[in-house]
Amino acid sequence: MKFYLEKLAAQENLTQQETEEAVGKIFTDEISESEIAAFMIGLKTKGETVDEIAGIVQAMRKNSLSFSKKLPNMIDNCGTGGDGSKSFNISTTSAFVMAGAGITVAKHGNRSISSKTGSADVLEELGVSLDLPPEITEEILEDNGIAFLFAPHVHPKIKSIMKVRKELKIPTIFNFIGPLTNPMELDYQLLGINRGDMLDIFADVLNTLGRKRAVVLNGAGSMDEASLAGENQMVILDGGVRSRETLHPEHVGLSVVDNSQIVGGDAKENAAILLDVLKGEKGACRDTVLLNAGIGIFTAGRAETIQQGVFRAIESIDSGAALGKLHYLIEKSAQYKKAVI
């Protein structure tokens, strides 16, 4: 690690290959926690480049569980977290709506780190298994169109990084790259981030990672989800070309609602909100999901505009298709648990 740390100390950028090699070493038992911390702080102090972020991501994906099948037209809609909004699980709820609209969703997520309830917490409360083997996950994706990939399960070597990250108690690039590290081969991605200044760099990283199309957004109120509270800043990546747009909820027929109206609670409360939305209950939570799912449906190329994406999201909920995707996942989890007992 000395070579890489000396370069960072001298404010020199690492190449993508160098970064990938450095992070690959971190996943061995040869690197001390102090060296890991120095690497994180060195990148943060210098400022991370697209190549460095892509190198970290590729190293993490190479050290993840192996998934053999390449399913076409897959998307993930995981956000970075860390926005402090205490909202209910918007992206998780939206994922089922997207799946109900006929999109294959490899939903990557974790337990709560900066909020009350992470995607893993709420899905576990609903009865979804977090530790399914890769072959079962792939089977579910093929049959159901949505499966959950629990980050600590699919990234078993990440414990040392997580330990140092928590002990540092300051944000580094490892606080933001979770959504980029999905081990499945994605064609599309909807990525929410609470940092408006990082939209372009994350879009460039997604381009480096080979996404056909992606949307990186920062919601009104600095949320890592699209918000009904006002203007949402988006960078759209399409065929390697970046464009920047602003989306207001009224542009797609939705009313303005303050972010305080979508505050969630613990896993039990957020599970109830998720179910209520998928069962068709009207209100701010539903409309927030319609906005985010609509953007996701547009990102995956199943709608020509976000407005059309919102219409398809409405159909997914009101037809019962979205709820059916959740029920399948719960039933499959119960069957797996019974089989391994």
Confidence of residue 113 (pLDDT cuts 50, 70, 90): low
Confidence of residue 69 (pLDDT cuts 50, 70, 90): confident
Q: Which residue has the tokens 């020509």?
A: 304
Residues 168, 124 share a domain: yes
Integer Cα distance of 15 and 238 in angstroms: 25
The whole-number pLDDT of residue 207 equals 97
Cβ neighbours for 339, distance < 8 A, ≥ 6 positions apart: none
Alpha helices in the chain (DSSP H): 2-9, 16-26, 33-46, 50-62, 90-100, 119-126, 134-144, 151-154, 159-168, 199-208, 267-278, 284-299, 306-318, 321-340
Asked if the structure places residue 50 within a domain, the reply is yes
Which of 11, 33, 63 is the endpoint of a domain? 63
Global pTM? 0.95
Asked if the structure places residue 247 within a domain, the reply is yes
State how many domains the chain has. 2
Residues 144, 17 share a domain: no
The whole-number pLDDT of residue 224 equals 95
The whole-number pLDDT of residue 81 equals 87
Name the percent of the chain lying above pLDDT 90.
89
Read off the pLDDT of each residue in 113-120 and give the average, rounded to a whole number: 77
The whole-number pLDDT of residue 68 equals 85
Residues 52, 93 share a domain: no
Higher confidence at residue 38 or residue 175? 38
What 3-state class would DSSP assign to 236?
strand
Question: Which residues make up each annotated binding site?
Answer: 79, 82-83, 87, 89-92, 107-115, 119, 165, 224-225
pLDDT digits (tens, 9 = 90+) for 250-292: 999 999 999 999 999 999 999 999 999 999 999 999 999 999 9
Residues 83, 57 share a domain: no
Assign residue 191 the CATH number of its domain.
Answer: 3.40.1030.10
Asked if the structure places residue 289 within a domain, the reply is yes
pLDDT digits (tens, 9 = 90+) for 78-104: 899 888 889 999 999 999 999 999 999
Question: Which residues make up each annotated binding site for anthranilate?
Answer: 79, 110, 165
Residues 57, 79 share a domain: no
Taking 80 as the threshold, does the pLDDT of residue 134 lie above it? yes
Assign residue 19 the CATH number of its domain.
Answer: 1.20.970.10
CB 229 within 8 A of CB 243: no
Residues 150, 4 share a domain: no
The amino acid sitting at 324 is G
The whole-number pLDDT of residue 341 equals 65
Residues 115, 51 share a domain: no
Residues 124, 7 share a domain: no
The whole-number pLDDT of residue 339 equals 83
Query: Which domain covers residue 21, as residue numbers?
Result: 1-63
Read off the pLDDT of each residue in 147-160 and give the average, rounded to a whole number: 93
Taking 90 as the threshold, does the pLDDT of residue 112 lie above it? no
Read off the pLDDT of each residue in 320-324 and give the average, rounded to a whole number: 98
The whole-number pLDDT of residue 25 equals 94
Residues 83, 1 share a domain: no
Asked if the structure places residue 336 within a domain, the reply is no
Read off the pLDDT of each residue in 135-139 and give the average, rounded to a whole number: 95
Name the percent of the chain lying above pLDDT 70.
99
Higher confidence at residue 166 or residue 187? 187
Higher confidence at residue 81 or residue 41? 41
Question: Which residues make up each annotated binding site for 5-phospho-alpha-D-ribose 1-diphosphate?
Answer: 79, 82-83, 87, 89-92, 107-115, 119
Read off the pLDDT of each residue in 20-41 and give the average, rounded to a whole number: 94
Residues 261, 172 share a domain: yes
And the tokens for 138? 């792939």
Residues 82, 58 share a domain: no
φ/ψ of 197, rounded to 5, equals: -80, -5
pLDDT digits (tens, 9 = 90+) for 178-223: 999 999 999 999 999 999 999 999 999 999 999 999 999 999 999 9
Asked if the structure places residue 341 within a domain, the reply is no
Taking 80 as the threshold, does the pLDDT of residue 115 lie above it? no
Mean pLDDT of the chain: 95
Question: Which residues make up each annotated binding site for Mg(2+)?
Answer: 91, 224-225
Read off the pLDDT of each residue in 106-131 and give the average, rounded to a whole number: 89
